[in-house]
Amino acid sequence: MSNAKTGMDQLTGSAAAGAVAYLAIFELRTALVEADSRMLRDSEGLLLSHVVALGAGSSQLVTYWASIDHYLSSQERIEAMLEDPPCVQGRVSQIASPPKPWWRAVKPTTLVLSAAALLGALEVLTNRYDRLFAEPQLTLKPDARFELTEGDEIRRTVTLRNQLPATGHSDVKLRASWEAQDAVGQSSQGELQLSEAFIPLLPGGDARELVIEGAAPGPGIYKMKVSASAEAGLLRGARSFVAPDVSFRVWARDPRGQVVYVNSNSVQAQYALRVQIGEPASKGLDCNLEIRGIPNLRYDARFYSPVGIYRDGDGLLTAGQEKDVVSILTWSTGPVESRREIQMELTLAGTSDTNWRDLAKDALLTCEARTEKLDEANR
């Protein structure tokens, strides 16, 4: 097939160049053998040869020559081989053929190379576009919430990730801080240190794990805040990013008590006595509730608490008169684990003149960790 195609191309090319081809057709008495075909292939100036089956067992050999001179130089050998002169011979006019469809002129290799070149060009354009116009895309993922005890050091991590796969971020600036809010809406805050507060270049798709350190603030509930700003495309400005707030709690190292008003009627009130424990009290707590300036108080009910309560049977110890009166209630608890808040319920009785809400504001609740195990006799 390739030889026939090459011969046809030569034949078409000779006609297009103005060289008139020569045609010679021979009757075949017998089929061509390999030696005959080889002799034809070796004939100088033979552009194309093929056998045409005419039916009824007859066939013809059709040959095209570059010129009559080429044919004449091989005529004697071919006629001797075929044992007959040509039945048809003569010059051939210009060969005309219909144009090929454009898609047949496209070769698979050309398609593959063109596609590869297009993809390469698109990648170059995309990279150049990103370098010029890409908007910064960073994520900040800090650790989960945590707890500390007063005096501990904060040491947490945050992961900074470049979300652009091929474009770096420059001039990356980071900041970490803590913030607290008290009951009346007044906020306080403090700075924390980062292992890398400035990164000149964060490559595309890269990530860094940064360490956040600093001294823990006083007892309370806080939010840790982490933010970053960076630039990406040359024609884009800097953009800021904020990580989700992380809640953390700092427990008081020593027990800390609070009296909270719950409800009341004209002659009695209920209170919640809350004690926060930072360090474990393995032998329990000794607690003292002191109430000043409220006469005629009575300890009306026993405590309720999730931990054991001991030595509360004597009730309130009262001294003084009227506004100078001091009422004291003491008790002990069983063991308490670290970083816990225990709540005890207390009921007090008085008179219709008792200001139950002021009592909660003015009362003083203190607790200390026991150094010795409570005697069984005092339980």
Same domain, yes or no: 210 and 272? no
Shared domain check, 209 and 155 = yes
Task: Please write down the HEC assignment for all residues of the chain.
Answer: CHHHHHHHHHHHHHHHCCCCCEEEEEEECCCCCHHHHHHHHCCCCEEEEEEEEEECCEEEEEEEECCHHHHHHHHHHHHHHHCCCCCEEEECCCCCCCCCCHHHCCCHHHHHHHHHHHHHHHHHHHHHHHHHHCCCCEEEEECCCEEEECCCEEEEEEEEEECCCCCCEEEEEEEEEEEEECCCCCEEEEEEEECCCEEEEECCCCEEEEEEEEECCCCEEEEEEEEEEEECCCCCCCEEEECCCEEEEEECCCCEEEEEEEEECCCEEEEEEEEEECCCECCCEEEEEEEECCCCCEECCCCECCCCEECCCCCCEEECCHHHCEEEEEEEECCECCCEEEEEEEEEECCCCCCHHHHHHHCEEEEEECCCCCCHHHC
Specify which residues 364 forms β-bridges with.
Answer: 290
Lowest mean pLDDT among 58-62, 179-183, 192-196, 277-281: 179-183
Higher pLDDT, 194 or 14: 194
Q: What is the CA radius of gyration of the chain?
A: 52
Same domain, residue pair 329 and 369: yes
Residues 116 and 209 in one domain: no
Same domain, residue pair 273 and 233: no
Q: For residue 317, is pLDDT > 90? A: no
Q: Where a domain ends, among 250, 270, 287?
A: 250
Indicate whether 279 and 209 sit together in one domain: no
Within a domain: residue 18? Answer: yes
pLDDT at 294 over 50: yes
Among 71, 91, 111, which residue terminates a domain? 91
pTM of the entire structure?
Answer: 0.58
Q: Same domain, yes or no, for 276 and 372?
A: yes
Q: Which domain holds residue 80?
A: 2-91
Task: Indicate if 116 and 166 belong to the same structural domain.
Answer: no
pLDDT of amino acid 372: 86
* CATH code of the domain containing 305: 2.60.40.1170
Work out the mean pLDDT of the chain and round it to a whole number.
82
Number of domains the chain contains: 4
Note whether residue 264 is domain-resident. yes
Asked whether residue 50 falls in the same domain as residue 116, the answer is no
Residues 6+ apart with CB under 8 A from 283: 335, 369, 370, 371, 372, 373, 374
Antiparallel, parallel or unpaired: β 239-242 and 220-231:
antiparallel
Q: Is 97 within the bounds of a domain?
A: no
- CB of 237 within 8 A of CB of 231? yes
**Which of 250, 268, 297 is the last residue in one of the domains?**
250
Same domain, 263 and 346: yes
Residue % of the chain over a pLDDT of 70:
76
Instruction: Say if residue 9's pLDDT is above 50.
Output: yes
Using one digit for the tens of pLDDT, what is the confidence trace for 207-249? 999 999 999 999 999 999 999 999 986 656 689 999 999 999 9
Q: Are residues 329 and 351 in the same domain?
A: yes
pLDDT > 50? residue 1:
no
In this predicted structure, the answer to whether residue 365 has a pLDDT above a threshold of 80 is: yes
CATH code assigned at 240? 2.60.40.2910
Lowest-confidence pick of 5-9, 46-50, 137-141? 5-9
The reply to whether 232 and 331 lie within a common domain is no
